[in-house]
Amino acid sequence: GLPHKVCRRCGENCLSCAGSSRNCSRCKTGFTQLGTSCITNHTCSNGDIWQRLETFWVVTTGRMYSHPVGGGQEYC
């Protein structure tokens, strides 16, 4: 017979996800994508800058320490 597929709900903050329910591909309004997670926009405050990288994020004490790959985007 045909294989059975099961649909699962995406994470609470995700608009859409791929593979795992925690692997967000798009975020709901009011949330910003950080890797495969969606964080509330309130998390970014006081001039913190999150830079989107091609494959990963490095966040230390609220700041980004890395070089954007392929034209990163800034959030917050």
Q: Where are the domains of the chain?
A: 1-41, 44-76
Per-residue pLDDT of the chain (76 residues; tens, 9 = 90+): 667 767 778 888 889 988 888 889 998 988 888 888 888 876 555 444 444 443 334 444 444 444 444 444 444 4
C-beta separation of 22 from 9 below 8 A = no
Four-CA torsion 17, 19, 20, 26, nearest 10 degrees: -20
Query: What pLDDT does residue 1 have?
Result: 63
- Residue-averaged pLDDT of the chain: 66
The answer to pTM > 0.75 is: no
C-beta separation of 64 from 48 below 8 A = no
